[in-house]
Structure 1
Amino acid sequence: MRHIDSLIFAGWVIPGEPEDRILEKHALAIHEGKIVTILPIEEAVREFSARVTHRLPQHALIPGLINTHTHAAMTLLRGYGSDLPMMEWLHEHIWPAEQAWMSDSFVADGTRLAVAEMLTAGITCFNDMYFFPETTASVVEELGIRACIGLIVVDFPTIWAKNPGEYLGKAEGLYKHYRQHSLIRTALAPHAPYSVSDDPLKSIAALSESWDIPIHMHLHETADEVVQSQKQYQLRPIERLENLGLLSERFLAVHATQLNDNDIEYLQLHQCHVVHCPESNLKLASGFCPVPRLLENGINVALGTDGAASNDDLDILGEMRTAALLAKGISGNAAAVPAAKALHMATLGGAQALGIDDITGSLKPGKAADVVAIDMSALSTQPVYNVLSQIVYAASRHQVTDVWVAGQHLLKSRILSTMDMRELQTRILFWRQKIGDDS
């Protein structure tokens, strides 16, 4: 009998590879932060003794959810300037608020709030884009979640950097500091085609290839973005990026609501990834990402929430449901994005986009034990005929009871193990009073 760190006995295990596989009454064996094997419970009892055993007969185990597009610290601006068109929302509300309140402590507290929300929603990894990325990374280390930290670049000065050269200089330092980290990866994060000029974009393309890290960028988010690019450059944004050398298998196109046939050909040709943020797109009336057409053309699609200022939650379970239903409604095809594909987009699809699918994204021997337990005994998910379908179409984040990242039990029976929630609530109230009094 082999002794290991932990065994999780569950009513169902959904490994994620292949997409639609469901294992009933199985156990997950974990040792030194990695998955050893998945096997029937009776066999697990015979083959393993564990330091800790978790018995979850009413639960489904799924791979940790991946939020492939966030602005984590913007939780402190949740609901700020709601119900406005995107550019008005950005220019008249969000950017002025950031200019007034952006600081290291703002990012630290906002990120802690975001990580607390994401862990309790079953998110084990997030891909961020925001100022003070070194602070975000520090919070990630402190709390034990997995993350890809965006090394943001814009043309204009902010409190974090004065010009593109300074943004890229700081990016290099952070990339070198975290390139061997077990939980933290980095990505170059030029904000958008309309906020970054040609020369910095050329430098970003070269650095992405040299460092072999992703480029994470808003692209074709609104119709106005496309129109303005055609006026300024006589090119659609994706054509301009192609000319500048940014498009590759390392490129993540976020939102992508304004795509024509040629745009999709560019994405397919260069093996780019698309990050679909359905609820943020809906709230800002940005448009609809043509997910079924992307999938038909072999383009990997991941899911993101965007920031809490435009969503207003960080809930990938909710995004799965919205993405699946939206695809059906727009395409007129009830099978456009089935439940298994929606879960893939929220797990392995995100890992593939970030280049970490050898580490996470599915429950597979040798991969990190990034695992989520969902209690299926709630009335809203009973009776259970097809557990995968129930998770996508009926389960809520409040049914997530336990979360492990690299085998570390970060959420235990709905209690976060690496956070002082009283202190966090105090800090949130501080920012609410500070920003609210000035708004």
Structure 2
Amino acid sequence: MMTKINSKFILINSETLPLFKNAELFIDESTGKINSVQESPYREKNAVNFEKDKNYSTLIIPGLLNAHIHTELTMEADGSTPHIFSEWVISLIKMRMNLSAQETAAIRKRAYEISIKSGITAIGDIVPLEQFEEYIVKKFNIEHPRIKSYIEIIGLDPSLADIKIKELEKTLNYCYKYCSNNEKSKPREFCASDVYDKNNDDFQRREHISEETFMPGLSPHSVYSVSKELFQKLSEKNKKWKLDIAIHTSEHKSEISFLKEGRGDIAENLLNALQLGAFSNPSKTYGTVKYSTPVDYLNSMEMLSSKTALIHANEINEHDIRLIKDSRSSIVHCPRSNDFFNSSRLPLRKLLDNSINVGLGTDSLYSNSSISILDELKYARKIHNEENNHSVSSKELFKMATVNNAAILNIPHLTGTLETDSYADFIIFKIPKDLKLTEDNVFDKIIDFEEKDILKVFIGGKEVYRNV
């Protein structure tokens, strides 16, 4: 069976133009995928038409993706929330300690609801290792976006590296067993059932991965929360696992001073407060080797590759940019979170000119004013258009929130686009009947839209949200 939806305008993606006018979207109901998009001046009578007898027209675009979020931290920051990084982390830890597993699950459900309502159809979610088994088996009675779950690994004490690896392997193996038993009932979960070798009871990637069953990723948190020994063991293990990696990198200047001289907010305040002061001067631990930047350090740990996404990366230099480009690593830009901590601005124009894949994320609500990618796009357009001779177009920003994010989550051509054989993940906007959209203005207009302008959201060809 084929579902047909009429719309005055349909945008396939940022690269495929022209903008389709008076068009029809054809969806294969058996697969939830796009069959085709066609211009049709005489729209078929049996097609769904959300404009009929209405005082508005419609625009259909690919669903937006959020490449970096912590759904468990969907708690609003307020006037008392610290903006100094060490104090912010400590306040966050205290808040987490008071949350039950049920409360954490409810917070995640809220994040899913907010995300879908704002047109987000896929997310890259950071999930602490100790929560992951419960996270993967939770069955929420709620629609949720596609989820790429990165397992967050923290361990600065080098003596605990082997223990952390064993915990990680146990969790990954558990996920395989759960997902292989529940694969049919969880079509939008990013599970592990294609990455487990039953013969040797060891977690590893198989050659053929089902499009319906996506793998988890790894998130060794940062250079100031993961020991050299743990990084090295993860790097070695992942040569076999081949999992996607997300690492918080170069978000704060104090990461650089931590690595080079054991000074700054992270070394002197955060680690001491967490009773990790013994590990606050890595230059001593590493002997004569001194790393100039977190990117340089991660490169030495063999953590940079085409499967690596560097979260933030706003405190980088020319040498870092060369390493990122040469390794084909990606970057996830979180401009409002960077502003929350008064961090440096990402040199976005320079990165794009160097053909580095840059996506867009919101980070958590605890360091942002919303978890809406539409809001993130508005802010990114504002700050990057203020830069003389370094501006970034709305088309480029839209690509970051769709096609580029899909590449980061390792689901290119499956979502973030309405091309043939991609999943039917899309947003229907209601627009004024007299609005004239063209290839020249459509991306600016999309970023101008508000959440209230979203009429419906579909994932896999199924309606998951309607604005009533």
TM-score, normalising length from structure 2? 0.79
Of residues 346, 350, 353, the one that matches 1:293 is: 350
Contact map agreement 2:175 2:192 (CA 8 A) in 1: yes
Give the SS at the match of 2:365: coil
**How far 1:228 sits from its partner (Å)?**
0.6
Q: 1:424 — aligned with what? A: none
Q: 2:21 — aligned with what? A: 24
CA distance in 1 between partners of 2:68 and 2:144 (Å): 19
**How far 1:203 sits from its partner (Å)?**
2.5
CA distance in 2 between partners of 1:169 and 1:195 (Å): 20
Contact map agreement 1:255 1:275 (CA 8 A) in 2: yes
Q: 2:369 — aligned with what? A: 312
Matched, 1:129 2:126: yes
Q: 1:147 to 1:412 in 2, by over 3 A?
A: same
- What are the residue-to-residue correspondences of 1:35-74 with 2, within 5 Å? 35-42=34-41, 45=44, 53-56=48-51, 58-74=57-73
**How far 1:41 sits from its partner (Å)?**
3.1
Matched, 1:230 2:260: yes
Q: 2:266 — aligned with what? A: none
- What are the residue-to-residue correspondences of 1:332-351 with 2, within 5 Å? 332-333=388-389, 336-351=391-406
Q: 1:374 — aligned with what? A: 429
Q: 1:312 to 1:260 in 2, by over 3 A?
A: same
Counterpart of 1:55 in structure 2: which amino acid?
F
Q: 1:35 to 1:139 in 2, by over 3 A?
A: farther
Task: Encode CA deviations 1:161-186: one digit per residue, 9 max, x unaligned.
Answer: 99523542344235534234726531
Q: 1:170 to 1:401 in 2, by over 3 A?
A: farther
CA distance in 2 between partners of 1:358 and 1:204 (Å): 29
Matched, 1:196 2:226: yes
Of residues 186, 189, 192, the one that matches 1:179 is: 192
- Aligned sequence identity (%): 23
Q: 1:212 — aligned with what? A: 242
Q: Which has the larger radius of gyration?
A: 2
Counterpart of 2:92 in structure 1: which amino acid?
I
CA distance in 1 between partners of 2:138 and 2:454 (Å): 22
Task: Encode CA deviations 1:262-308: one digit per residue, 9 max, x unaligned.
Answer: 00001000000000001111112122111111100000010000001
Q: 1:359 to 1:384 in 2, by over 3 A?
A: closer
Q: 1:148 to 1:80 in 2, by over 3 A?
A: farther
Q: 1:96 — aligned with what? A: 94
Q: 1:327 to 1:20 in 2, by over 3 A?
A: farther
Contact map agreement 1:111 1:139 (CA 8 A) in 2: no
Task: Encode CA deviations 1:74-98: one digit per residue, 9 max, x unaligned.
Answer: 113544842522222112x111211
CA distance in 1 between partners of 2:327 and 2:171 (Å): 25
Of residues 366, 381, 388, the one that matches 2:443 is: 388
Contact map agreement 1:208 1:215 (CA 8 A) in 2: no
Q: 1:81 to 1:203 in 2, by over 3 A?
A: farther
Of residues 424, 437, 452, the one that matches 1:398 is: 452
CA RMSD of aligned residues (A): 2.6
Structure 2: tracts of 5 or more residues without a match: 180-190, 194-209, 262-281, 284-289
**How far 1:199 sits from its partner (Å)?**
1.9
**How far 1:412 sits from its partner (Å)?**
2.2
CA distance in 2 between partners of 1:401 and 1:174 (Å): 40
Q: 2:411 — aligned with what? A: 356
Q: 1:277 — aligned with what? A: 334
Contact map agreement 2:430 2:454 (CA 8 A) in 1: yes
CA distance in 2 between partners of 1:206 and 1:97 (Å): 35
Counterpart of 1:397 in structure 2: which amino acid?
E
TM-score, normalising length from structure 1? 0.84
Counterpart of 1:363 in structure 2: which amino acid?
L
CA distance in 1 between partners of 2:236 and 2:246 (Å): 14
**How far 1:237 sits from its partner (Å)?**
1.2
**How far 1:126 sits from its partner (Å)?**
0.5
Q: 1:34 — aligned with what? A: 33
CA distance in 1 between partners of 2:139 and 2:363 (Å): 18
Q: 1:140 to 1:206 in 2, by over 3 A?
A: farther
Q: 1:134 to 1:398 in 2, by over 3 A?
A: farther
Of residues 9, 24, 38, the one that matches 1:12 is: 9
Contact map agreement 2:50 2:58 (CA 8 A) in 1: no
**How far 1:247 sits from its partner (Å)?**
0.4
CA distance in 2 between partners of 1:400 and 1:138 (Å): 31
Q: 1:150 — aligned with what? A: 150
CA distance in 1 between partners of 2:43 and 2:324 (Å): 44
Give the SS at the match of 1:45: coil
Task: Encode CA deviations 1:368-409: one digit per residue, 9 max, x unaligned.
Answer: 11111122239xx967563321111x2112211211111121
Count, aligned residues: 397
CA distance in 1 between partners of 2:138 and 2:58 (Å): 30
CA distance in 2 between partners of 1:400 and 1:121 (Å): 8
Contact map agreement 2:74 2:110 (CA 8 A) in 1: yes
Counterpart of 1:18 in structure 2: which amino acid?
E
Q: 2:325 — aligned with what? A: 268
Task: Encode CA deviations 1:188-240: one digit per residue, 9 max, x unaligned.
Answer: 01111100111221232234332222101100000011111112232121111
CA distance in 2 between partners of 1:200 and 1:54 (Å): 55
CA distance in 1 between partners of 2:98 and 2:365 (Å): 18
Contact map agreement 1:151 1:171 (CA 8 A) in 2: no
Larger relative helix fraction: 1
**How far 1:23 sits from its partner (Å)?**
1.6
Give the SS at the match of 2:75: helix
CA distance in 1 between partners of 2:65 and 2:314 (Å): 21
Give the SS at the match of 2:215: strand
Counterpart of 1:151 in structure 2: which amino acid?
I
CA distance in 1 between partners of 2:398 and 2:97 (Å): 37
